[in-house]
Structure formats: structure tokens, C-alpha cells
Structure 1
């Protein structure tokens, strides 16, 4: 079965903390912390997918146009147990003053897999021993928080 394209969101609150979910490893996949987001549906733009996934996983509604252009991407081959092939993750950056995560719109798989979430202080991302994805997240976030938005999406190292 082929890989997939996903749209993900670097969601930062007013205290400059990044929302990450602890993805429970299934079928031999590792457990790791990752941004909200998921698969792009057929004929769905990246921004529409990112906004839809953000609402499903966090309860936060945003208009796709407010996300702007992707700020980063990564891709490569992987065998995740549930799917293998070429995967691409595209990342948007969005700020909120504050947000309380609401899991009411998750599908049953997301309820199990995304049971834990945490708002991570930006400085802690660089020094954490926890497995985080994508690789290269800390320097990218540092630039974004300083107002340095890339003119084209930054290529991050593939994490598998």
C-alpha cells in the first residue's frame, strides 16, 4: 500500500509553547511526540486538510486561508506497519492566545493514539530526551517565533 501526504500544524500559544501530541506506537511503531495533523484527503488542499485536522484533533477551528503557506516539509520512505511507501509531511505555523484541547471530534483511532498532549516551551524542545518529530523542529520554531518566516518551505530531515 502506498504512503501518504499529511498536513500538520505548529500550533503556538501566547506563552510561546508548542502543542504536541504523544502518539502511542502501534504495530511496532515507536511512541513519539508530534504536531497535530494528518492525512490529506483526495482533492483536498494542504491548508484545508491542516485546518480540518486541527479541528478534529484539538477542537480549534481556523479558516484554511489564515494558515498561510507551509513553512516546512519532510518526506521519505517508511514502513509504519499500517502503511508503507513514500510519506510527506507539510507543516503550517499558527498562533493562538490560548486554547484548551477538545478531543470530542476525534475518530476512534485518534482517541486511542493521541491520548496525551502537552504545550511544550520552545526552549525545552532543543534539550528534551523525548522522541520528537519532525527532526529540526527546534531551530525552525525559534526562527518562526522571532518573526523569521521562510520564503519557501524549509526541508527538514526525514524522521524514519
Structure 2
């Protein structure tokens, strides 16, 4: 089965303790719960960096201005709501000085609101993280090995 190539961007957010912000979602079609960095699809005329900044603010209430023009390309092959996506997404970096800034997802779409389970600032990757190689993506973005 051919996959959909949807242009999207994601943001790896690190707090002052080096923890990664992950959003928790429930796919009502598959029944699976996943954890992933904030992000989403590009709007017409938007650059990936603009989309990353907009999506961070919409999904978390955190300031998009903290998203740095530092990114790595990540090959993605995943299913969401019964659709297979095969695409390459830029994952950008954002850093916060404080520990665990409060997240307020005040601008979720109706589909996102239905799927939203919460968020966490995590030291290690949980089961169900997307993409599965997120720890390596964080290492590439931050120069950590």
C-alpha cells in the first residue's frame, strides 16, 4: 500500500533539565496510544520553520519564537487514523531555561482535541514513541552521543 507524503514539521523541546516534551495521543482507529514531539502539517505558503513555530504554539501554548533554525530530517513511516504516511519531516530544536514549562494546548483542532491524552517532560523515551528512533534524533540535534 502506498503511503501519503504529507509535508509536516516537528519540534524537539528540551527543558532546563534536558528532558524532552512529548505529546500523548490516542488513535481511535487503531486503538493505539503514541507519544511524539509537537508538530504538524505545513499550511500553504508556509516554510517548515514557520510551521514548526506555529504548531508549537497551537499544540502547547509555548512561544514559537524559541524554535531554532536547527533541524534534522527524519524518515517517517507511520499510521494515523487509518492512513499510512511515508514522508520525510524536519525535526527542529527548541530549548527552555526553566524545568518543565507548563503546556496549555489551547488551539487544538477538533480532531486533535479528541485524540489528546496529555503531555510529559521525559528523561527517557516511553513505549509507543514516534518516531521510534527519537532518542537518536535528539542526540543529533543536541550533539549528545
TM-score, normalised by the number of residues in structure 1: 0.75
Q: CA deviation at 1:102?
A: 0.9
Q: State how 1:3-152 maps to structure 2 within 5 Å.
A: 3-28=5-30, 30-63=32-65, 66-76=67-77, 80-84=80-84, 86-98=86-98, 99-121=101-123, 124-125=124-125, 128=126, 130-145=127-142, 148=143
- Per-residue CA shift, 1:3-23, capped at 9, x if unaligned? 412100000100111000111
- Following the alignment from structure 2 to structure 1, what is the Cα–Cα distance between the partners of residues 130 and 73? 12
Question: Matched residue of 2:29: which SS?
Answer: coil
- Distance, in Å, in 2 between the alignment partners of 1:143 and 1:44 is 25
Structure 1 stretches of 4+ moved >4 Å: none
* Inter-CA distance 15–38: structure 2 relative to 1 (3 Å threshold): same
1:79 Cα deviation (Å)? 5.0
Where 1:63 maps in the other structure, the secondary structure is helix
List gaps (5 residues or longer) in structure 1. 150-160
Q: Cα RMSD over matched residues?
A: 2.4
SS in 1 for 2:139: helix
Closer, same or farther: CA 29–40 of 1 in aligned 2, 3 Å: farther
